[in-house]
């Protein structure tokens, strides 16, 4: 069968691998669509902090949609022919775990496989928004209008938050605005953050970009006091309501630093978030089926899996040109 492999740094290939066996608490799934996880996969392809530190890398991606071809012993709730999502890699066949601790679900009727192929990234955003514990009426800022940022903005709005989103990419901001967020276009010059501060202060900031922006979010120093990291600067979040402000970081990076005095002054809670669990995935499926979460406007590319190696070259050199990318495993995607 065919599987995607990162053969060396920056080099993705399709190659033949052994067919997996279906275990007693597993189902065997033949791929129909799979979704690119832009940030994580680019990070791994370039040897970043998510990389295992060696080549080749074979466990790539976590968004797999397919048809059940075999059901293992002790498996309930799944049958041959079912359309399912699982957080398994880009492979023609996957043996997926099932049960309460596994991220494998039946796809509700009416949801297109190409939309379900982005359930994983949407579920990361769901997990992120849940970590923030948003209350209705709180104001939130999403930094980065990539795929996770786009889903975060929609899900934060569904909690009753007033959502703002900022990015350097005007096209991505236009999509976010069409889906209900208030957008701010940044420029490479630091001065554009003044517009973000004017829109705030924010109760919650979701840092989804991985860019060096933490001094813009937290600020630097006490008022009138210099900071070792630079002159004093106001942040975009501060303690103005009955709850401390929160900064939630999801994007991959090796280390982070921020000004302690500024964070202490406003008692900012710093939260980290990573993958997702079954409850996040089920809620994403429910919201998509009901129309509460829109995936289709975020799909920028749907291509045959045979074109994947060229797509990864594009991901390396021009990541901003990709948003939601879906691979079709059964011939032409159209």
CATH of the domain at 189: 3.40.50.720
In the block, residue with structure tokens 């370039």: 46
Q: Which helix (DSSP H) or strand (DSSP E) does residue 7 occupy?
A: strand 2-8
Q: Helix, strand, coil: what percent of the chain each, to 5? A: 30, 25, 45
- Those residues whose C-beta lies under 8 Å from the C-beta of residue 241, and which sit 6 or more positions away, are 138, 203
In this prediction, residue 332 carries a pLDDT of 44
User: What's the CATH code of the domain at 28?
Assistant: 3.90.180.10
Residue 7 corresponds to which tokens in the numbers above? 């053969």
94: in domain: yes
Same domain as 134, residue 113: no
Q: What is the pLDDT of residues 134-168, one digit of tens each?
A: 999 999 999 999 999 999 999 999 999 999 999 99
Is 108 within a domain?
Answer: yes
Low-confidence stretches of the chain (pLDDT < 70) are 190, 223-230, 240-241, 331-334
pLDDT of residue 50: 87
Q: Which domain holds residue 157?
A: 125-272
Nearest to 277 by CA among 99, 165, 154, 127: 127
- What pLDDT was estimated at residue 226? 64
What was the pLDDT predicted at 334? Answer: 42
Query: Bridge partners of 3?
Result: 15, 91
List phi, psi (to 5°) of 100.
-65, -25
Together in a domain, 194 and 164: yes
Residue 228 lies in a domain: yes
Asked whether residue 254 falls in the same domain as residue 130, the answer is: yes
Do 205 and 101 sit in the same domain of this protein? no
Q: How many distinct structural domains can be found in the chain?
A: 2
What distance separates the 2 farthest-apart alpha carbons in the chain? 68
Say how far apart CA 107 and CA 116 lie, in whole Å. Answer: 7
Question: In which element (H, E) is residue 99 found?
Answer: none
pLDDT at 228: 66
Q: Is 288 inside any structural domain?
A: no
| pLDDT tens, residue by residue, 84-111 | 999 999 999 999 999 999 999 999 999 9
- Examine the domain organization and report whether 141 and 28 are in the same domain: no
267 and 132 within one domain = yes
Both 129 and 86 in a single domain? no
Tell me how far apart the alpha carbons of residues 1 and 295 are, in angstroms, rounded to a whole number.
29
**In degrees rounded to 5, what are phi and psi of residue 175?**
-65, -45
């Amino acid at each position: 069968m065919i599987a995607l492999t990162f053969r060396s740094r920056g080099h993705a290939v399709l190659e033949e691998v052994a067919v997996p066996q279906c275990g007693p608490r597993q189902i065997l799934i033949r791929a129909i669509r799979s979704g690119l996880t832009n940030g994580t996969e680019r990070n791994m392809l370039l040897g970043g902090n998510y990389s295992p530190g060696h080549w080749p890398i074979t466990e790539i991606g976590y968004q797999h949609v397919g048809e059940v071809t075999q059901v293992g012993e002790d498996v309930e709730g799944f049958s041959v022919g079912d359309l399912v999502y699982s957080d398994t890699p880009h492979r023609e066949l996957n043996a997926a775990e099932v049960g309460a601790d596994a991220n494998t679900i039946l796809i509700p009727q009416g949801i297109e496989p190409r939309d379900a192929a982005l359930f994983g990234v949407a579920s990361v955003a769901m997990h992120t928004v849940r970590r923030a514990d948003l209350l209705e009426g709180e104001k939130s800022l999403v930094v980065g209008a990539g795929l996770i940022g786009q889903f975060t903005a929609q899900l934060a709005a569904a909690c009753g938050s007033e959502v703002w989103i900022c990015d350097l990419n005007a096209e991505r901001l236009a999509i976010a605005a069409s889906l209900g967020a208030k957008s701010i276009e940044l420029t490479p010059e630091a001065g554009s953050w003044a517009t973000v501060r004017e829109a705030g202060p924010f109760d919650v900031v979701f840092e989804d970009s991985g860019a060096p922006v933490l001094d813009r979010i937290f600020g630097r120093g006490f008022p009138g006091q210099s900071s070792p990291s630079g002159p004093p600067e106001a942040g975009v979040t501060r303690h103005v309501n009955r709850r401390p402000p929160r900064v939630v970081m999801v994007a991959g990076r090796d280390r982070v630093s921020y000004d302690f005095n500024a964070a202490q002054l406003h008692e900012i809670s710093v939260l980290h978030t990573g993958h997702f669990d079954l409850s996040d995935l089920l809620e994403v499926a429910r919201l998509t089926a009901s129309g509460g979460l829109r995936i289709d406007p975020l799909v920028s590319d749907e291509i045959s899996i045979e074109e994947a190696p060229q797509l990864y070259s594009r991901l390396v050199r021009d990541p901003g040109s990709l948003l939601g990318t879906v691979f079709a495993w059964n011939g032409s995607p159209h």
